Chain A
Amino acid sequence: MMKMKGIWQKFKGLMPEGLKDFPHYAEGPERYSLLRKNFVFIVCATAIIPLLLMAAINYYQYQSALKEEIVKPLSRLITSTKHSLELFLSERESTLRLLIRERTFEELSNQGRVNFIFQSLRAEFPEFVDLGLIDSAGLQRSYSGPYELKGKNYRDQDWFQEVQLRGVYVSNVFLGYRKFPHFVIAIKRDTVEGDFYVLRATIDTEKFNQLISTISLRPGSDIFLIDREGVLQTPSRSHGNVLDKVSLSVPPMSQEAVITRTKDEHGEHLLGYAYLRGANFILVLIKEPGEIMAGWFTLKSELLLVLVVSVAVILIVSLRATGLLVDRIREADQKRESCYIEVEHTAKLASLGRLAAGVAHEINNPLAIINEKAGLLKDLVEFSEEYHDQEKLLSQVDSILRSVNRCREITHRLLGFAKRMDLKVETIHLNELLQEVLGFLEKEAFHRNIKVNFNLAPDLSPIAHDRGQLQQVFLNIINNAFEAVQDGGNITIATKANETDPNTVEVTIADDGRGIQPDDLKHIFDPFYSRGKEQGTGLGLSISYGIVAKCGGDIRAESKVGKGSTFTVVLPQKCQMA
């Protein structure tokens, strides 16, 4: 568990900045690039890490399989060859040991006996070249062979020192009789008197060569013996002849077969070797990498290619997918934000409506009292004839009553506004509703000298809709018309039954204002689309359109720049939402 935690901490350390704490602090546009980075990182990490792992496992598995296939047979070959060579040596050694043990010193010193023994030895082992006895002083006492060695003294020679110490000696190969490569085996025997003598024989290496050359090798491969100085003891295919020095460095001591990879001027190859027991020989096997190794190299590059391509594909796909995803998230965020604004706006209007209703209602009662008190005052003055300053008083009372009426207008309007908040379908006379709506704008029309013409169909049938919402729709459109026209402009509001569809009525609001650019006209019902920055939220027409469309109606806008705009609202007889 603790270990897992540690790994997680390390993994976190690798993560790009911001992933660890996401999304607590990321706000604003940079959060999308951060999101993108994080997604890409996670996708890549989860896809590429297993891929790399798999590639690595594959690599090592194949490598070990190759080892089985190449290295094992080589090492078996070396081991078996080494054994047969060792067997050959020990057989010759045993033969000599048997000779020296079975015969007395006197017998072996006798030249005639030695000649006889050598003859029978040659009959059995033809590779023996000569045989002779040397006494403890190093003097050749008897000799049978092609050289004239009898009487030679070996006292000061290295091999004689060594055979005294070890009891047996196997020499390196040298060129001897008729320039054939030979080597020497010497065996010491101690006498009861504390003296010793040595039996020495020379052996032709031809048999050696035969043992090695029986091994069938592919062309380019090689097998041979060297001594500890790197001098060839047997001929080789491509590394020189007997007693040449090989270009290889002498490998370190090992009785067991060792396979390594080396490089020389011929290129890379496998080198196998083993030290022979009881002699200074090293068996060396050189094998060209060959087809299997070539396969290994192609596999390595193929593996790398697949890996690189896969990683590239993962990167591209994750980048593209993440880009798409983040763009979608950004879009969704934008939509949500605009929704928030709309909802906020609606909520604001609703609470404002409730406030307005409360205020209007509370003011209405005292207003009624003022109305009645002032009225009573007026009545009292009017009904009693003999009141002085009657005119002046009546004008004061009338002023109060006018003010009360103004207040009443205001509270009615406030209550009308509040009422818009809850949807309630009722019977509506559109003509009256339009005049009512204009009531809100009368003051502005008056001040700016805007002429509002009504062209209302007198026999328009009533429709079933929510009064408040319709008020809002027309207030928005007429308000826009007021904004579009200059002082002294004209606005015409017309109603008529639709000729094509008798179940709908049509209201047109036309102005002779500055008009709308064709580009703007396309977006006029989009939320937050406002012709001027100072002109409100840009929600008015979109809300209006929403209300009308919800009821199964439609709003159309036509406009010519500089000539004016016409908005046509088509309403069904009955709001289809209700």
Chain B
Amino acid sequence: MAEYRVLLVDDEEEFVSALSERLMLRGIEVDSALNGEEALARLVEKEFEVVILDVMMPGLGGLEVLRQIKSTHPDTQVILLTGHGSTREGIEGMRLGAFDYLIKPVDIEEMLEKMKEAAKTVRTS
């Protein structure tokens, strides 16, 4: 049933658990990680089409994680979550190869749309 696999990375556990459950309810296969290191470890274990990545995280920052994902898994599409209203991180992320960015709090439908688009580019490539 799963069309694509999603890795959700955010340091707020409550946010991660709620969002992953919602995505699963919509039939999406979701894994979660609470920091950058964990996320990179997950990517080694398993293959994901899409990574939802929070920019503001303690430890390994979102943009650094993005850089590493892009170097090890160039096919994986990354959608950034920014807490800032500022688009600065978003633009920086786009430059580093992110697929798109979303501003928190996120509208679930918008997110699904973006993920679908991202997964499509993975599959067609």
Contact = CB atoms under 8 A, between A and B. Distances in A.
Interface of A: 360-361, 364-365, 367-373, 375-376, 379-380, 383, 404-405, 408, 411-416, 419, 424, 426
18 contacts: A361-B84, A365-B12, A365-B104, A367-B105, A368-B12, A369-B18, A371-B106, A372-B19, A372-B22, A373-B18, A375-B19, A375-B22, A376-B22, A379-B25, A404-B105, A408-B105, A413-B85, A415-B84
A405 B104 CA distance: 10
A419 B18 contact: no
B25 A370 contact: no
A414 B12 contact: no
A296 B64 CA distance: 102
Given A367-B104, A368-B105, A371-B106, A376 B85 contact: no
A426 B87 CA distance: 11
Nearest to A372: B18
Contacts of B26: 379
A44 to B, nearest CB: 65
B14 interface: yes
Given A412-B103, A415-B84, A415-B85, A369 B21 contact: no
A370 B21 contact: no
A415 B14 contact: no
Nearest 5 pairs between A and B by C-beta? A415-B85, A371-B105, A372-B18, A368-B105, A412-B85
A551 B86 CA distance: 23
B14 A411 contact: no
Nearest to A427: B91
Interface string B84-125: 111010010000000000011110100000000000000000
Interface size class of B (residues with CB under 8 A): 20 to 34
A419 B85 contact: yes
Interface string B1-15: 000000000001011
Contacts of A361: 83-84
B22 A364 contact: no
A457 B22 CA distance: 42
Nearest to B18: A372
Given A369-B15, A372-B15, A415-B84, A364 B25 contact: no
Contact of B18 (A375, A404, A414, A415): A375
Contact of A365 (B18, B83, B91, B103): B83
A373 B104 CA distance: 14
B19 to A, nearest CB: 5
A379 B12 contact: no
A419 B86 contact: yes
Contact of B108 (A360, A369, A375, A415): A375
Contacts of B15: 365, 368-369, 372
A17 to B, nearest CB: 60
Nearest to B87: A426
B104 A364 contact: yes
B84 to A, nearest CB: 6
A376 B18 contact: yes
A404 B107 CA distance: 11
Contacts of B103: 412
A383 B23 CA distance: 12
Contacts of B85: 360, 411-416, 419
Contacts of A367: 104-105
Which residue of A364, A413, A426 has the most chain B CB atoms within 10 A of its CB atom?
A: A364
A450 to B, nearest CB: 26
A379 B14 CA distance: 16
* Listed residue (A361, A367, A368) with the most chain B CB atoms within 10 angstroms of its CB: A368
Given A369-B14, A372-B22, A376-B21, A364 B83 contact: yes
A404 B105 CA distance: 8
Contact of A368 (B25, B84, B86, B104): B104
A354 to B, nearest CB: 13
Contacts of B86: 415, 419
B91 to A, nearest CB: 8
Contact of A379 (B22, B83, B104, B105): B22
A360 B18 CA distance: 22
A368 B86 CA distance: 16
A369 B84 contact: no
A449 B32 CA distance: 49
Nearest to A380: B25
A367 B18 CA distance: 13
Nearest to A407: B105
B83 A369 contact: no
Nearest to A415: B85
Contacts of A375: 18-19, 22, 108
B21 A364 contact: no
Interface in B20-61: 21-22, 25-26
A437 B97 CA distance: 31
A416 B19 CA distance: 27
A360 B105 CA distance: 12
B30 to A, nearest CB: 13
A364 B89 CA distance: 16
A470 to B, nearest CB: 15
Find the residue from B21, B26, B103, B104 having the highest chain A CB count within 10 A. B104
A159 B103 CA distance: 144
Nearest to B105: A371
A566 to B, nearest CB: 32
Nearest to B15: A369
B105 A364 contact: yes
Contacts of A373: 14, 18
Given A368-B15, A415-B84, 9 more contacts: A365-B12, A365-B104, A369-B14, A371-B105, A372-B14, A373-B18, A412-B103, A419-B85, A426-B91
B77 to A, nearest CB: 21
Contacts of A383: 25
Contacts of B88: 424
A415 B91 CA distance: 16
Nearest to B91: A426
Contacts of B108: 375
A379 B84 CA distance: 27
A253 B113 CA distance: 136
A419 B12 CA distance: 25
